[in-house]
Amino acid sequence: MLQAYSNIFKIPDLRKKVLFTLLIIAVYRLGTYIPTPGIDGTALASFFASISRSSGGQIFGIMGMFSGGALQKATIFALGIMPYISASIILQLLTVVIPQLEKLAKEGEEGRKKIIQYTRYGTVVLAIIQTFFISLWLENPNAFQGTVIVPNPGWGFRLMTMLTLTTGTAFIMWLGEQIDEHGIGNGMSIVITAGIIESIPTALFQTWTLLSPFDPARQQLAWWKFFLMIVLFIGTIVGVILIIQGQRKIPVQYAKQMRGNRMYGGQSTYLPMKVNQAGVIPIIFAQSVILFPATLAGFFPNAGVLTSMAQGLAHGTATYTVIYAAMILFFTFFYTAITFNPLEVSENLQKFGGFIPGIRPGKNTAEYLDFVMTRIAASGAFFLAIIALFPDFVSSPKILNIPFLIASFFGGTGLLIIVGVILDTMKQIESQLLMRHYEGFVKKGKLKGRR
């Protein structure tokens, strides 16, 4: 494997792509430290530090994960890439509902470009709406326990914040597209991963502080818990890799056809059906819905019923756990039903002379594929629910009682994204190496990505 990494820099084209990607990541990380005008960054950092162990702090920790910590620092990249993710998901859902968008999606490259353009417009609109409410929230001292975050509130500050943060999101979107065009890997995913990985040094420092190996009197984390954390971490990563790579192979046989003097078809292949067809989308959906009351309650502290609802759905409560798990299960089946159409797959197989051995073509094939995908989606949904709730289990005071920042690396959206993006990027690099007759990352077989 080490030889494969050294071979990357022996290929000029691949070397340029990797170095360009690293340069874009460096630019993105630099932007997470440029402050937004009109905000007292020191007061804001003190507020987040004071609530870091509370449910509110954990909520902001989840929201700030996609911005690489820029949200807590209120920098120009505070929104991160979340508006783009939301716009992409919304447009993907609308593609199934609106016939015009569905027609565009089937038009090939030109249709894809138009959908990407619509996604950009949607990103800007969502960013403007979110930044307006963020500016109102920052102006309200009651939301920060009486601390004044904005010394000079008013429409001047609001417009400046909306312009700055929306421009920051648009710039991040542009950086991701540059990686797609000139770099290696999926640009948006790499930007998100870079932001998530940014918190690893802080998590390691917190772990070291809790262990206090040179001062046993200040030790807050027992060594047996530390080694148990390592075992759980390795086991979680292995489980995530298996579920991302896992697939059910449905055998497909193509009938022989005579065209002129040549015989075509007669091949045996398989139809791959992924265990985790929905990816991390169900977790993102569930988090967005269940955090919505708490987010609004943060903007409007004296919201009455909304505040009571937010308290009932506080992070770590039994109600939160049950509803969060139920939402993940629901959105997994919902998103899988949108992205996988058994009837369409059956029609395509029949059109090209393919059939599943033992299953009649047409309606019977569609029913069989729907039955298989439902069972596969059920196992994937339960895994997503377990992996999403595992950080809460690890950070619970009754179990390991470790900070949520450390526990977040034992599961959840962050770990799924990191592992999936690394697998995708390594697969692309390996294909470049093998194409130029270099050895890949594994000696036997080849690396499989998420797609």
Tell me how far the alpha carbon of residue 5 is from its chain's centroid.
26
Query: Which residues is 252 bridged to in the sheet?
Result: 269
Q: What residue type is assigned to position 291 of the chain?
A: L
For residue 163, the model assigns a pLDDT of 93
Query: Please, are residues 417 and 196 in contact by the beta-carbon 8 Å criterion?
Result: yes
Q: How many CB atoms lie within 10 A of CB 139?
A: 18
Query: Which residues is 86 bridged to in the sheet?
Result: none
Token pair, residue 31, equals 């932007």
Q: Counting beta carbons within 10 angstroms of the beta carbon of residue 168, is it exposed (0 to 12), middle (13 to 18) or buried (19 or more)? A: buried
For residue 448, the model assigns a pLDDT of 58
For residue 214, the model assigns a pLDDT of 74
Q: Which of 442, 406, 416 is nearest to 205 (CA)?
A: 406
Q: For residue 28, how many C-alpha atoms fall within 13 Å in the half-sphere facing its CB?
A: 36
Q: Write the CA distances from 199 to 65, 348, 379, integer angstroms.
A: 8, 45, 30
Rounded to two decimals, the pTM is 0.79
For residue 212, the model assigns a pLDDT of 79
For residue 451, the model assigns a pLDDT of 47
Contacts of 18 (CB under 8 A, 6+ apart): 8, 9, 183, 184, 429
For residue 300, the model assigns a pLDDT of 60
Using DSSP's 3-state secondary structure scheme, residue 393 falls into helix
Q: For residue 288, how many C-alpha atoms fall within 13 Å in the half-sphere facing its CB?
A: 15
DSSP structure class, residue 36: P
Domains of the chain by start residue, with CATH: 1-198 (1.10.3370.10)
For residue 403, the model assigns a pLDDT of 72
Tell me how far the alpha carbon of residue 66 is from its chain's centroid.
8
The 10s digit of each residue's pLDDT in 163-197 is 999 999 999 999 999 998 888 888 888 888 888 88
Q: Which residues of the chain have pLDDT under 70?
A: 1-4, 49-69, 143, 257-266, 294-307, 310-312, 314-316, 404-405, 410-412, 437-451
For residue 416, the model assigns a pLDDT of 81
CA 93 – CA 202 distance, rounded (Å): 37
The 10s digit of each residue's pLDDT in 196-247 is 888 788 778 878 888 877 777 777 777 888 888 888 888 888 888 888 888 8
Using DSSP's 3-state secondary structure scheme, residue 35 falls into strand
For residue 52, the model assigns a pLDDT of 57
